[in-house]
Structure 1
């Protein structure tokens, strides 16, 4: 529900909100420019002295105004001709035109009413209302994603568009909330929808009838500093019944033009002060720095609009449309999905369709929307949980475990967990396992034993579906056809072969960058934006699940490079290692933001063996300024020392600080974990200095590295688990 409140106002009012934000950001510059350019009155200057100086310069002066920026403007008539100028308080003389520039007038008209009068004002008020809804729903969504407001600035992961959208929102939302609320208040005031807040006091019924007193002789004016002045209006020439009108930041009063006596006075009411404060907060008049800050925050709106549309389009492509999806409060089956890339939603759609055909009412939603108190008619809850990275919750399951922990009491309906993952990874279905453990700890009844689907296997899913159907007493046959990812054609440019002598044929394959459309370049889709460590997916000829390889290059390198070892019976690896330059493959890109060097100058400890050198080589190629220590394991330096010549060049260029190799085929087998033990003192020192550890390679090697580091770091009180929790130990393991 919150997503819908956030999505549709954003999409429907996209142009209006963007226009409102951009014009507001441009207008925010003018109060600051006005404050810098306008001559300022000295702290001890009185209104009486200022009025005397202006009157001497412009005998026909009718009014003196002081803006919140400190700019003083005088208005007069000279032989029937009106005049106005910005005044230098020190001399009373005009120094600049009082009229706003053409650009400022145009922007103001655009921002307030689209040059359409009251209809345009209503439209812009609707835009402000949409911005308010977007801001409030955005706060709720970010809090849900980060695990609560107390974790507002927690580190994000996921695709670039999503991270950029949330990063800007976390900073800009306070300003957007303030701008939208004050804009709606001002619009309501313009259309008379707010109660009267008071005004000037009643004009006095009796005046002295005298005229001609000089401002310098009026005690009230001599006691009023210019810094508090809002407006001083002079009596109409020749009208003995008129009076001076003085407005300050305290209130409004009338002064006799013959005696200078204070005839009447009214302090500003609370309502007036609130209205003035809201005007200041919205326009920046009187608070130029705040105005500039709000303007900068408003500039985030077009970026959030663009990334929001990109996320919406990506979600539409990755998440199948589920017809007849019932509200959670009305459904018998609650099916919640935790997915990162979107493929798990396809399985949910297949199950939803099958259960609906069987006469069941089903609600499908993200695990992050878990709200058991709303499941009034539910008879079962099914959880489809994919795993992100090293056992973390995927994007649509953010905060689920926290919600489960807080849920008291749990619904008295059974639950089943189905994990989705790739068995070749060590953290296979780790998040699903964590969900199962947490549910068991809470005493939640299990509908079925926990089960898994390996590599999007339709067979695994069908087997689980039959078990579910048997439990429900329904003839449930699930025939799922995974949606094939959008692929692009890659042409092989070159290859380098290694490992034949040690029976481990390996190739470094370099492909040309595929041509990208304008839309792909703008949105980062396809191969328009990628980094070393991201994943390239290649589909087997038999239509099975794609095989993923870590990229050894980034977009800036100008090519796509991977390291592939031929596995006995491996369809994709055999096909890749048989490629010749000029031949092509079809592939797709999958971001892997959890395996990146990160920014900063902290040292890097790169640990890899065999083909695990691929992404590490990409990191070295892109390194410019930070110290990097590489631990690389190989079978024999004469056969499979991958990137040997490049590593020598990178050392000479300062991109690689130190290389430590481990050779496993020889008189004395030596592995990377042995190399780490041999360098224990330096490794410990680097980690104490804030080094980030990155491990890439087979699961056995990664397990050995973790064990070795645990032993090395034990005397210092650190552990690999502590480093992982702090984001300083990341793995890409297969």
Structure 2
């Protein structure tokens, strides 16, 4: 429920003032160029000049000009003086404080900046516009704050704010990425905007500066040269905003220094400080609010504000795009809910899980199945229900999606009276500590119902993997006795553009064990790739890609480890290839499964053909980082096609240790998770010392290995495995 409140608040604030936020962002982008332009003009003072004392500066000015009216360091970091030159001309000029020379003449603000400033500040509506702009700043601040809360909830807590983000779609991914990095500039922009608006409407306490000067007791002696005034000698230009010079030689006229934190009145004859007024906190906040809000005086900060405004524009676009995408998937139910024998309940936060559930629903309808699809929060009495299939995502730290957060209560209020079978499919990401937790909560609740029977064990899908989804479809297809054919295009996923690869080598038939072989390819179009990337292959008349983890050899060829399946279309296609044959395929970057650049040790865990990407990683281990390989197969013969290569890499010191587990031997059956358990202390030390574990192979193996690793982490390190995964110490590519 709380998730919905924050999400609707976030969306509501954005919708309420979207037009004004859009205007503020666009005008902010334009105005960010004004201070940049001023700095580029090269009239700003140097760091050396900032260290110069007021005494030296005034002495230089008095020597260079007949009269000096005022001198200031403006918000653009320029020294601006109002002087009377030796030619008798009264001028306002940019000067070099070190020698007093004129370095430029101020120009009028460009009309575009004047016009944009008025629009940005008041929308040309005077006080009404000022009020709207101030309110807009407040709403934008609230949007930023609710956005922070949503990111924290999504990532699993405040401490995970900057942890890895799961990329469901580009809009969602970059909305969060940019939101995290532009958070501070946006908060500064909005808070300073709010403060300046409150100040404009006199809603803040204000203290008037009144000089306490006893004119009757102003001293005329001892007369001191201005360069010897102690106050002037102790103040540097970096602390000066403005200096007002005396109008005459009259003793009652004086110097006024406006510093960053106070104002001083100086006797022009003796140099004595005759009044000192420290600025109240409100005045200091006002000054720095203006500087921070406008970016004056710093090209770097102006560029940051420019990027922040561009970010706000993107947030408006991506936020509304995500909202529309959640609404875009229309559920069509030709079968009424009380006539449906198969009820599909979906829990989806960003819309991805709903797309997968809806594609499954439509495929059932094509097969004349009496299917009904609805959100988990719309659960009620389904009188004809025989089979219940729940497809749900998990949000953030194990929470229910916003359209499923009432289900666990609803099913208690409306228990299913008749006997029924159920199955649960969970979508989530292993980057989060509570992977698919809500799906497991639903499963547990359904198991406890008296009339329920679990037809299929709970399945989970990591990062919306289409391959894992396809495996589940095959399983549920057998269960429902229907033929399901869902392709990527049905989910809005476009087919990749393929290129040509030439076959260099393939394991000869007589050397193949367990129908496994190595295929070496060369890209005819010089495609770039790395070990750990994927090779996508499309059968004829089928948009469903088959993905294979690949290795990059030292000779820049591509190596794939393939297991031939009797009914496997693609594996048989690859098995029939011969040297010099051409294969059309596509490279799919998989940056999250590349060999770590900074690791003091790496452990690679694989079963069967999952060893494929590790072959290239080991061969290209130029820094000789210690690598241990754990591999599981049927028997020792299964390892034969990799053995020579592995032994060679060991002798070259690119691989330190190899541990094998065989599950089909006459003696004790061993699995890779058994080997890991036997070396629990070594694995704990590896993670504690910032080592990296990489896993590639079957999902079944992955689940068992993760259970063992999580147990080791909790017992030995007192932390969950997810802690190390979020630090990039656990990399996985399983299928």
TM-score band w.r.t. shorter chain? 0.5 to 0.7
Counterpart selection for 1:551 from 526, 549, 552: 549
Question: Cα distance, 1:351 vs. partner?
Answer: 6.2
2:493 is the counterpart of 1:485: yes
Question: Cα distance, 1:75 vs. partner?
Answer: 2.8
Note the alpha carbon deviations across 1:305-327, whole angstroms, 9 max, x for none: 7799789989989x7823599xx
CA distance in 2, matches of 1:33, 1:154: 44
Question: Cα distance, 1:613 vs. partner?
Answer: 0.9
CA distance in 1, matches of 2:362, 2:202: 50
Q: Which residue of structure 2 lines up, in the alignment, with residue 436 of structure 1?
A: 442
Is residue 243–residue 255 contact of structure 1 (8 Å, CA) maintained in 2? yes
Which SS does the other structure have where 1:551 is aligned?
strand
CA distance in 1, matches of 2:716, 2:415: 38
Note the alpha carbon deviations across 1:159-210, whole angstroms, 9 max, x for none: 6956666455334312221134324655787xx55559769768999999x9
Which SS does the other structure have where 1:94 is aligned?
coil
Question: Cα distance, 1:552 vs. partner?
Answer: 1.4
Which SS does the other structure have where 2:50 is aligned?
coil
Question: Cα distance, 1:616 vs. partner?
Answer: 1.9
Note the alpha carbon deviations across 1:213-256, whole angstroms, 9 max, x for none: 99958999865753564323234469999875553446668789
Q: Which residue of structure 2 lines up, in the alignment, with residue 65 of structure 1?
A: 72
Counterparts in 2 of 1:449 and 1:697: CA distance versus 1, 3 Å: closer
Which SS does the other structure have where 1:153 is aligned?
coil
Is residue 710–residue 720 contact of structure 2 (8 Å, CA) maintained in 1? no
Counterparts in 2 of 1:292 and 1:542: CA distance versus 1, 3 Å: closer
Which SS does the other structure have where 1:400 is aligned?
coil
Is residue 620–residue 655 contact of structure 1 (8 Å, CA) maintained in 2? yes
Counterpart selection for 1:40 from 41, 50, 53: 50
Which SS does the other structure have where 1:602 is aligned?
coil
2:606 is the counterpart of 1:573: no
Counterparts in 2 of 1:401 and 1:514: CA distance versus 1, 3 Å: farther
Question: Cα distance, 1:80 vs. partner?
Answer: 1.9
Counterparts in 2 of 1:503 and 1:438: CA distance versus 1, 3 Å: closer
TM-score by length of 2: 0.64
TM-score by length of 1: 0.64
Note the alpha carbon deviations across 1:386-445, whole angstroms, 9 max, x for none: 57xxxxx4xx566516999999995675599863379xx9xxx9656422257579x999
Is residue 218–residue 261 contact of structure 1 (8 Å, CA) maintained in 2? no
The equivalences for 1:508-527 within 5 A come to 508-509=518-519
CA distance in 2, matches of 1:731, 1:548: 18
Q: Which residue of structure 2 lines up, in the alignment, with residue 419 of structure 1?
A: 424
Structure 2 gaps, min length 5? 1-7, 125-132, 333-342, 366-371, 383-387, 417-421, 460-468
Q: Which residue of structure 2 lines up, in the alignment, with residue 94 of structure 1?
A: 100
RMSD (Å) for aligned C-alpha atoms: 6.6
Q: Which residue of structure 2 lines up, in the alignment, with residue 691 of structure 1?
A: 691
Is residue 338–residue 384 contact of structure 1 (8 Å, CA) maintained in 2? no
Which SS does the other structure have where 2:151 is aligned?
helix
Counterparts in 2 of 1:506 and 1:182: CA distance versus 1, 3 Å: same
CA distance in 2, matches of 1:279, 1:620: 57
2:473 is the counterpart of 1:457: yes
Q: Which residue of structure 1 lines up, in the alignment, with residue 244 of structure 2?
A: 233
Is residue 240–residue 260 contact of structure 2 (8 Å, CA) maintained in 1? yes
Between 1:113-122 and 1:603-612, the stretch displaced more is: 113-122
Is residue 355–residue 491 contact of structure 2 (8 Å, CA) maintained in 1? no
Question: Cα distance, 1:619 vs. partner?
Answer: 3.3
Note the alpha carbon deviations across 1:364-400, whole angstroms, 9 max, x for none: 6xx9xxxxxxx8x98589995457xxxxx4xx56651
The equivalences for 1:245-324 within 5 A come to 245-249=256-260, 268=279, 271-282=282-293, 292=300, 295=303, 299=307, 321-323=328-330
Note the alpha carbon deviations across 1:105-130, whole angstroms, 9 max, x for none: 9xx969x9386462366679799789
Q: Which residue of structure 2 lines up, in the alignment, with residue 612 of structure 1?
A: 610
Between 1:503-512 and 1:129-138, the stretch displaced more is: 129-138
CA distance in 2, matches of 1:591, 1:151: 23
Counterparts in 2 of 1:341 and 1:270: CA distance versus 1, 3 Å: closer
Note the alpha carbon deviations across 1:657-691, whole angstroms, 9 max, x for none: 44456678999899674877998887676566443
Counterpart selection for 1:506 from 516, 520, 524: 516
Is residue 363–residue 485 contact of structure 2 (8 Å, CA) maintained in 1? no
Is residue 38–residue 71 contact of structure 1 (8 Å, CA) maintained in 2? no
CA distance in 2, matches of 1:217, 1:205: 22
Q: Which residue of structure 1 lines up, in the alignment, with residue 626 of structure 2?
A: 627
Is residue 492–residue 579 contact of structure 1 (8 Å, CA) maintained in 2? no
Q: Which residue of structure 1 lines up, in the alignment, with residue 82 of structure 2?
A: 75
Note the alpha carbon deviations across 1:517-567, whole angstroms, 9 max, x for none: xxxxxxxxxxx9976445556566796x95754421479997765322111
Counterparts in 2 of 1:320 and 1:465: CA distance versus 1, 3 Å: farther
CA distance in 1, matches of 2:139, 2:223: 50
Counterparts in 2 of 1:14 and 1:259: CA distance versus 1, 3 Å: closer
Q: Which residue of structure 1 lines up, in the alignment, with residue 369 of structure 2?
A: none
Q: Which residue of structure 2 lines up, in the alignment, with residue 475 of structure 1?
A: none
Note the alpha carbon deviations across 1:617-647, whole angstroms, 9 max, x for none: 2433564543222234566888864456765
Which SS does the other structure have where 1:573 is aligned?
helix
Question: Cα distance, 1:487 vs. partner?
Answer: 1.7
Counterparts in 2 of 1:681 and 1:384: CA distance versus 1, 3 Å: closer
Counterparts in 2 of 1:88 and 1:354: CA distance versus 1, 3 Å: same
Counterparts in 2 of 1:20 and 1:707: CA distance versus 1, 3 Å: same
Which SS does the other structure have where 2:494 is aligned?
coil
Counterparts in 2 of 1:514 and 1:273: CA distance versus 1, 3 Å: farther
CA distance in 2, matches of 1:179, 1:115: 20
The equivalences for 1:640-679 within 5 A come to 641-642=640-641, 647=646, 655-660=654-659, 673=672
Is residue 35–residue 296 contact of structure 2 (8 Å, CA) maintained in 1? no
Structure 1 gaps, min length 5? 326-332, 356-360, 368-374, 388-392, 467-477, 517-527
2:179 is the counterpart of 1:169: yes
Counterparts in 2 of 1:341 and 1:576: CA distance versus 1, 3 Å: farther
Q: Which residue of structure 2 lines up, in the alignment, with residue 329 of structure 1?
A: none
Counterpart selection for 2:163 from 137, 154, 171: 154
Note the alpha carbon deviations across 1:484-506, whole angstroms, 9 max, x for none: 73223353421512574565222
Is residue 295–residue 301 contact of structure 2 (8 Å, CA) maintained in 1? no
Is residue 213–residue 275 contact of structure 2 (8 Å, CA) maintained in 1? no
Kindly tell me the number of residue pairs found equivalent between the two proteins. Answer: 655
CA distance in 2, matches of 1:589, 1:400: 32
Which SS does the other structure have where 2:61 is aligned?
helix
Q: Which residue of structure 2 lines up, in the alignment, with residue 54 of structure 1?
A: 61
CA distance in 2, matches of 1:652, 1:304: 56
Counterpart selection for 2:152 from 143, 159, 174: 143
Q: Which residue of structure 2 lines up, in the alignment, with residue 347 of structure 1?
A: 357
Which SS does the other structure have where 1:97 is aligned?
strand
CA distance in 2, matches of 1:272, 1:71: 22
